[in-house]
Amino acid sequence: MKKEEKKEEENPVEGECWSKAQGYDCCEKRSTRVSYVDKKKGEEWGYEHGKWCGITDLQRCPSYSDAYPCCKGCTVKYTDSEKWGIENQKWCSIPYSCDEKK
């Protein structure tokens, strides 16, 4: 499997930012982790630059990009420096949350 180079730290947020509707930007850094989960709404929040931000797939998956989306499930099909799955006949990045379930 050949993967594109990952760009670390500041990356543009892909697509529409769900947390903008609540007056908060989406998180920008790949390294931002989930600090709070609103279980009623299923929303995940991080903290950057002294402010709350909405967690997106950029933070949920180690290799999230247009080429490699976040997997919906946790079934690992291949492991190199990261864990990979296959969904809809395409490689996807196994979410960090799959490790937390163990």
State how far the alpha carbon of 13 is from the alpha carbons of 7, 9, 48, 63, 95, in Å.
13, 12, 14, 14, 17
pLDDT value of position 102: 57
Domains along the sequence of the chain with CATH:
18-60 (3.90.1220), 61-102 (3.90.1220)
Average pLDDT over residues 87-95: 94
Region of residue 19 (phi > 0: left; psi between -120 and 50: alpha; otherwise: beta)? alpha
Examine the pLDDT at 1 and tell me if it is beyond 50: no
The mean pLDDT value of the chain amounts to 83
pTM of the model: 0.63
24-71 pLDDT per residue, tens: 999 999 889 889 999 999 899 999 999 999 999 888 888 887 788 999
